[in-house]
């Protein structure tokens, strides 16, 4: 083939290609326009269709409403959530069932479904094919609160006595501090319970746990509270002592549980130790303690040979030295002592038992004109006696609780000195046991008999007259500081 022939063939091929391109341009243009028109039309149709309907993959309160109008969506919502039953599980594991209609909870026709629809952007309807949308309608119910509360109050767990929750706390026990965890009671938080019930009906739940919806009043302080941990740390440092005081009305214990309350707290709620505050609290504590320790002259209830008696007056008992006791107590607290503390006192007291008399004492019933000596709780000696002349106030034996403060053999008892310089009387006795100033127990050999009503005419000057053999026996049995209780 010649060169000219080759060129001719190339030119013809190029002409064919250009022709095909022209043909493609002629046909492609309307196709593209058609596609564009279809897309635009479909988009416009979608905009029109969804302008009053919910978008694809849209739910109201988890109920599928895609393609539904506001009215139909609302109707579907009503059909789904009306007349529901709900099981309430309480903290004790028991269950109770409530019905929506009994609670005064009805569907709200004037709800926000229409407003939710209006908030949709119909221009973006096509985007909803790629994402799910759940719209929460809050006001699907109207509630008759009085009916709801009344119905809830018919439930056993709301009708029964409710226990309050207990906060976590720092406790002192067995000589150590620890944090005691909080505990729930059964006290209902009515506001949270109602809120949880409404939410459950709205979400079509069939069962809820009352504790999970915070339907119980919760403890205000939990075991992981930082300030509680701070209290534990400072209490372990300053409040470890345990001091016990014995009193006639029982033991008084001052330990960490009380000492914690003596700690100070600043405006931010942080605890700290203040020596001044501890002294102030110790002063108040000792002042109150004195009312239990100081029994001199106070009524004392004891059990003796005549059963239980209450006697007032006398000089028997302790009196607390408050200033010295405060200092001693603070020193023991600082040293973290664990002991029964002997208080700083004045006076005489043999025991804290039996009203302070203990188990060994002399008991004198001046109405019965009888005396008993009780040792270790048992009567070991008793006798009729003669006491002071009751018609003379200066000679009448006074009632009260005393103690033997002086004992002597072969003593001469002398009365008051008269105008002539001589004592009113001088009487020798073999056994003298003084318990109230010049008044004591002693033998009286001049008395012809004892007991009965003799003391009305032949009563003493105030002493307790005993037969010689009884006085001798008693003298050998008693000792200084033994209580003597006299009563009518």
Q: Which of 45-59, 106-120, 357-371 has the highest mean pLDDT?
A: 357-371
pLDDT at 471 exceeding the cut of 70: yes
DSSP state of 118: H
Phi-psi group of 175: left, alpha or beta (phi > 0 → left; psi -120 to 50 → alpha; rest → beta): left
pLDDT of residue 11: 59
pLDDT of residue 327: 97
pLDDT at 10 exceeding the cut of 60: no
Domain segments of the chain as ranges: 71-112+138-224, 229-296+318-347, 359-487
pLDDT of residue 45: 87
Exposed e or buried b for every residue in 323-343, given b needs 16+ CB within 10 A? eebbebbbebbeeeeeeebeb
Q: Which of 24-28, 123-127, 424-428, 455-459 has the highest mean pLDDT?
A: 455-459
pLDDT of residue 411: 96
Whole-angstrom distance, CA of residue 263 vs CA of residue 167: 19
Whole-angstrom distance, CA of residue 372 vs CA of residue 378: 10
Confidence of residue 194 (pLDDT cuts 50, 70, 90): very high
pLDDT of residue 479: 97
Whole-angstrom distance, CA of residue 185 vs CA of residue 166: 7
Nearest to 172 by CA among 221, 226, 243, 272: 243
Whole-angstrom distance, CA of residue 324 vs CA of residue 290: 12
pLDDT of residue 321: 97
**CB contact at 8 A, 379 and 305:** yes
pLDDT of residue 409: 97
For residue 350, what are the contacts with CB-CB under 8 A and spacing of at least 6?
Answer: 356, 357, 358, 360, 361, 403, 481, 482, 483
pLDDT at 268 exceeding the cut of 70: yes
pLDDT at 443 exceeding the cut of 60: yes
Whole-angstrom distance, CA of residue 133 vs CA of residue 65: 10
- Tell me the H-state helices in 311-393: 322-334
pLDDT of residue 22: 59
Nearest to 280 by CA among 304, 257, 262: 262
Confidence of residue 467 (pLDDT cuts 50, 70, 90): very high
DSSP-derived 3-state class of residue 117: helix
Whole-angstrom distance, CA of residue 484 vs CA of residue 488: 14
Between residues 206 and 48, which one has the greater pLDDT? 206
pLDDT of residue 486: 98
Whole-angstrom distance, CA of residue 397 vs CA of residue 463: 7
In the sheet that 426-436 helps form, which strands lie side by side, from edge to edge?
406-414, 426-436, 439-443, 464-466
Whole-angstrom distance, CA of residue 65 vs CA of residue 59: 5
Q: Which of 42-46, 103-107, 327-331 has the highest mean pLDDT?
A: 327-331
CATH architecture, domain 71-112+138-224: Roll (3.10)
In the sheet that 483-487 helps form, which strands lie side by side, from edge to edge?
378-384, 370-375, 361-365, 483-487, 400-403
Find the mean pLDDT for residues 128-140.
Answer: 91
Whole-angstrom distance, CA of residue 461 vs CA of residue 449: 17
**CB contact at 8 A, 147 and 88:** no
Between residues 37 and 408, which one has the greater pLDDT? 408
pLDDT at 402 exceeding the cut of 80: yes
Nearest to 311 by CA among 378, 380, 361: 361
CA torsion 361-367-368-369 (nearest 10°) is 70
pLDDT at 5 exceeding the cut of 80: no
* The pair of three-digit structure tokens given for residue 10, joined into one six-digit string: 């190339």
DSSP-derived 3-state class of residue 76: helix
Confidence of residue 71 (pLDDT cuts 50, 70, 90): very high
pLDDT at 344 exceeding the cut of 90: yes
The pTM of the full predicted model, rounded to 2 decimals, is 0.66
Find the mean pLDDT for residues 453-462.
Answer: 96
DSSP-derived 3-state class of residue 348: strand
How many whole angstroms from its chain centre is CA 106?
42
Find the mean pLDDT for residues 245-266.
Answer: 95
pLDDT at 25 exceeding the cut of 60: no
pLDDT of residue 36: 81
DSSP state of 305: T
DSSP-derived 3-state class of residue 194: helix
pLDDT of residue 26: 61
Find the mean pLDDT for residues 241-246.
Answer: 96
Same fold, 71-112+138-224 and 229-296+318-347: yes
For residue 279, what are the contacts with CB-CB under 8 A and spacing of at least 6?
Answer: 326, 330
Phi–psi pair at 395, nearest 5 degrees = -115, -15
Number of neighbours of residue 126 by Cβ within 10 angstroms: 14
* The pair of three-digit structure tokens given for residue 22, joined into one six-digit string: 């022209």
Confidence of residue 27 (pLDDT cuts 50, 70, 90): low
Whole-angstrom distance, CA of residue 154 vs CA of residue 161: 13
* The pair of three-digit structure tokens given for residue 435, joined into one six-digit string: 């318990």
pLDDT of residue 446: 96
CATH architecture, domain 229-296+318-347: Roll (3.10)
How does DSSP assign 12-59, residue by residue? HHHHHHHHHHHHHHHHHHHHHHHHHHHHHHHHHHHHHHTTSSPPTTEE
pLDDT of residue 422: 85
**CB contact at 8 A, 234 and 271:** yes
Find the mean pLDDT for residues 54-73.
Answer: 93
Confidence of residue 423 (pLDDT cuts 50, 70, 90): confident
pLDDT over 70 for what percent of the chain? 94
CATH (residue range 359-487): 2.40.440.10
How many whole angstroms from its chain centre is CA 10?
108
Mean pLDDT for the chain overall: 92
pLDDT of residue 24: 56
Exposed e or buried b for every residue in 450-461, given b needs 16+ CB within 10 A? beeebbeeebbb
């Amino acid at each position: 083939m010649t060169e000219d022939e080759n060129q001719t063939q190339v030119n013809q091929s190029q002409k064919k290609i250009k022709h095909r391109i022209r043909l493609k341009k002629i046909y492609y243009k309307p196709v593209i326009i058609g596609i564009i028109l279809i897309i635009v039309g479909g988009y416009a149709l979608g905009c029109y269709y969804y302008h009053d309907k919910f978008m694809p993959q849209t739910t109201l309160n988890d109920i599928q409403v895609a393609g539904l109008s506001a009215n139909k969506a609302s109707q579907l919502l009503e059909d789904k959530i009306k007349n529901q039953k709900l099981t309430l599980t309480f903290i004790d594991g028991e269950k109770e069932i409530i019905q929506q209609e009994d609670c005064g909870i009805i569907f709200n026709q004037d709800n926000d479904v229409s407003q939710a629809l209006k908030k949709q952007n119909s221009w973006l309807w096509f985007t909803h094919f790629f994402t799910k949308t759940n719209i929460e309608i809050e006001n699907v119910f109207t509630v008759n609160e009085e009916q709801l509360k009344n119905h809830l109050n018919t439930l056993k767990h709301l009708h029964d006595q409710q226990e309050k929750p207990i906060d976590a706390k720092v406790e002192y026990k067995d000589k150590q501090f620890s944090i005691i965890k909080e505990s729930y009671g059964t006290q209902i938080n009515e506001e949270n319970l109602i809120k949880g019930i409404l939410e459950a009906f709205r979400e079509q739940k069939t069962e809820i746990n009352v504790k999970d919806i915070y339907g119980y009043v919760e403890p205000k302080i939990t075991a992981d509270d930082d300030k509680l941990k701070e209290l534990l740390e400072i209490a372990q440092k300053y409040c470890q002592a345990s001091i016990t005081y014995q009193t006639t009305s029982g033991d008084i214990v001052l330990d960490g549980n009380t000492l914690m309350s003596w700690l100070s707290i600043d405006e931010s709620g942080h605890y700290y130790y203040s020596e001044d505050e501890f002294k102030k609290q110790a002063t108040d504590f000792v002042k109150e303690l004195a009312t239990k320790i100081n029994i001199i002259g106070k009524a004392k209830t004891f059990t003796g040979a005549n059963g239980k008696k209450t006697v007032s007056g006398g000089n028997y008992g302790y009196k607390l030295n408050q200033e010295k006791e405060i200092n001693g107590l603070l020193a023991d607290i600082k040293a973290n002592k664990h002991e029964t503390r002997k208080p700083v006192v004045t006076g005489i007291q043999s025991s804290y038992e039996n009203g302070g008399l203990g188990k060994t004492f002399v008991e004198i019933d001046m109405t019965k004109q009888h005396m008993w000596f009780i040792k270790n709780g048992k009567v070991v000696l008793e006798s009729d006696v003669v006491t002071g002349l009751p018609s003379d106030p200066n000679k009448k034996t006074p009632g009260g609780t005393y103690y033997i403060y002086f004992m002597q053999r072969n003593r001469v008892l002398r009365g008051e000195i008269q105008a002539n310089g001589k004592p009113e009387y001088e009487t020798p006795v073999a056994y003298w046991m003084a318990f109230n100033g010049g008044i004591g127990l002693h033998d009286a050999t001049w008395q012809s008999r004892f007991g009965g009503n003799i003391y009305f005419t032949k009563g003493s000057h105030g002493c307790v007259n005993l037969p010689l053999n009884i006085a001798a026996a008693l003298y050998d049995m008693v000792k200084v500081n033994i209580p003597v209780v006299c009563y009518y």
